[in-house]
Structure 1
Amino acid sequence: MAVNELFLVRHGESVGNVAATQAELDGLDAIPLDIRDADVPLSDTGREQATALGHWLDGRRDSIDAYWVSPYLRAQETLRIALGDHPTPAPATNPSLDERLRDRELGILDLLTRRGVAARHPEEMARRLHLGKFYHRPPGGESWADVALRLRSFLRDRLDGPGETAMLVAHDAVVMLVLYVLLPMREDELLDFASTRTVLNASITHLVRRAAEWELAAFSDVTHLQREGADVTAHPGSPDVEPA
């Protein structure tokens, strides 16, 4: 049985999101965070957002056949809080972790602000401008194209089932690049789409497959957060090497 409906959820606000935003505002070169990326937990706001996501799930739990989640702590916490203690079908009690859903790796740019990248690695600023966002791979890290390749592998393995409806909880780059793979988009279409849209924390992006083609039914919807009175946050998932 093929998956024909897919809910893509970005994790709730993390302490890394908060630290990165504050470091940018303070004009720092580096983000003061002594935790490896895989172990960054949710903030208090992120936990509230995950609870609101759980209320959105009420009445939908029986219709979701599979839950897929990034192995990173912030994504696992988001799904665990959202699922809560409610009785759930078997797939929900044992969500499938897959390292191919991890966040984009930044290599030598990890924990640097935009200011820090410009000051410490100006050559990467130049490479980014030359290659473009999609193909720029920081030393030791990944380009968007690299992430898309691992997502193609994941989707090829998982979209044949089980069940018709699945929820994937991961990161903003993962959400964007699943759209790139499934809709599908060209590089220029993806970059144009991403330039005016943000995958908000704990937002829901909804894809439906009709006549073998995927359609975007909703992008970065946060109605459930607003309804529950949870803060809507739009922190960047990771500092990028954007031109000044």
Structure 2
Amino acid sequence: MKRLLLVRHGETEWNAMRRLQGQTDIALTAAGETQARALAPLVTSLGPDRAWTSTLSRAQQTAALLGHAGAEPISALREQALGDWEGRQIAEIRAEAPEAYLGWRAGTHTPPGAEPWADFRQRVEGALTKAFEASSETALVVCHGGVIRAALDVALGLRPSKIIPVGPASMTILAHTGREVRLEAFNLRGASVELHAPD
């Protein structure tokens, strides 16, 4: 059986301000660094034999804090590009366009200038297939909340509207039995589970 450890990066300044990041390159806060360090023992205990990371600095910083500074950067693991919504506060978007926001969360609405969900999902599927195939047993992928939601859609058919927010510096585990993919864990944290984490 092969396992894929999907880790979302730790908190960033824009997460704390509840701003959508998309592919804007924002570094971790001190709290985000602490979150990543808290998850490190769990990652180490699972013994990943290969590690990949998004090319965005928040994911690369998290990988280093998990003890995988040499993780291979893969551009296909970047967050969904959010076009005109990048940098905007979630509350502002929800007030101006509540249906559009809910549609985006469900994968049915594309913000102006953004990457459509179907394209993003396909990009993530290609990257994760590569990770599964290249790993002998357990692969670590340090990425973004949207990437993890897309992975759950690809592997399990869970639409993004059915998934609670992916917490900062949390781990989701997918296992491939050879016949099917199973969800072994979701939103594992070094400390506590956060059900209302910022996007």
| TM-score interval for Structure 1 and Structure 2 normalised by the shorter chain | 0.7 to 0.9
Matched, 1:177 2:147: no
Read off the aligned partner of 1:79 and give its amino acid letter: A
CA RMSD after TM alignment: 2.9
Assess, with a 3 A threshold, how the Cα gap between structure 1 residues 144 and 214 changes in structure 2: closer, same or farther: same
Contact 2:170 / 2:188 at 8 angstroms: preserved in 1?
A: yes
Assess, with a 3 A threshold, how the Cα gap between structure 1 residues 165 and 132 changes in structure 2: closer, same or farther: closer
3-state SS of 2:152 partner: helix
Structure-2 residue corresponding to 1:111:
87
Assess, with a 3 A threshold, how the Cα gap between structure 1 residues 133 and 143 changes in structure 2: closer, same or farther: farther
Deviations 1:14-64 (A, max 9, x none): 1110122xxxxxxxxxx5x9x99543111111111111122223444xx31
Matched, 1:143 2:143: no
Assess, with a 3 A threshold, how the Cα gap between structure 1 residues 153 and 113 changes in structure 2: closer, same or farther: same
Q: Identity of paired residues, percent?
A: 29
Question: TM-score, normalised to structure 1's length?
Answer: 0.71
Shift of 1:109: 1.5
Shift of 1:207: 1.1
Matched, 1:9 2:7: yes
Question: TM-score, normalised to structure 2's length?
Answer: 0.85
What CA distance in whole angstroms lies between the structure 1 residues aligned with 2:105 and 2:195? 27
Shift of 1:131: 8.3
Structure-1 residue corresponding to 2:75:
99
Which residue, 9, 18, 32 being the options, matches 1:46? 32
Matched, 1:218 2:194: no
Contact 2:105 / 2:161 at 8 angstroms: preserved in 1?
A: no
- Structure whose alpha-carbon radius of gyration is higher: 1
Contact 1:18 / 1:235 at 8 angstroms: preserved in 2?
A: no
Matches within 5 A, 1:78-93: 78-83=62-67, 92=68
Structure-2 residue corresponding to 1:67:
51
What CA distance in whole angstroms lies between the structure 2 residues aligned with 1:128 and 1:19? 17
Structure-1 residue corresponding to 2:198:
236
3-state SS of 1:79 partner: helix
Assess, with a 3 A threshold, how the Cα gap between structure 1 residues 9 and 39 changes in structure 2: closer, same or farther: same
What CA distance in whole angstroms lies between the structure 1 residues aligned with 2:110 and 2:22? 20
What CA distance in whole angstroms lies between the structure 1 residues aligned with 2:116 and 2:170? 23
What CA distance in whole angstroms lies between the structure 2 residues aligned with 1:182 and 1:107? 26
Unaligned 5+ segments in structure 1 are 21-30, 84-91, 238-244
Matches within 5 A, 1:131-210: 133-183=106-156, 185=157, 189-194=158-163, 197-210=164-177
3-state SS of 2:173 partner: strand
Contact 1:15 / 1:43 at 8 angstroms: preserved in 2?
A: yes
What CA distance in whole angstroms lies between the structure 2 residues aligned with 1:126 and 1:169? 31
Read off the aligned partner of 2:176 and give its amino acid letter: R
